[in-house]
Amino acid sequence: MRTRSEAAVVSRVASWLGLAGHLCTLPLYLASGLVAPLWAIIVLLVVWAGLVGVAVLAVRRRRAWGLAVPLLGVGVWLAGVSAGEAFLGWTA
């Protein structure tokens, strides 16, 4: 069994890993310029910045759910670019 302090350390490390992982998704969002128009890149970057806020909130509250932020960020990016390609005709 984990003690309360061990669980707090695990949550803190997980939240910081989530923030670092989300920062690693920025190149995906920036590379969208090869496929998406400027307005879509701006929307994607605003969403990315919002997710940074969520990741910082997780770090400040020391919550392990911050680890889900980079996964959500990759999912949003992939869904946005795929939808643009399928419905709006974006091509490289």
List, for residues 48-81, the tens digit of each pLDDT value: 999 999 999 999 999 999 999 999 999 999 999 9
Cβ partners under 8 Å of residue 77, min gap 6: 25, 28, 29, 32, 44, 48
Q: What is the pLDDT of residue 4?
A: 80
Q: What is the pTM of this model?
A: 0.90
Tell me whether residue 33 is in a domain. Answer: yes
Residue from 14, 3, 9, 25 nearest 68 by CA: 14
Tell me whether residue 78 is in a domain. Answer: yes
Q: Which domain holds residue 83?
A: 18-87
Can you tell me the mean pLDDT for 7-15? 92
Residue 1 has what DSSP assignment?
-
Tell me whether residue 5 is in a domain. Answer: no
Tell me whether residue 4 is in a domain. Answer: no
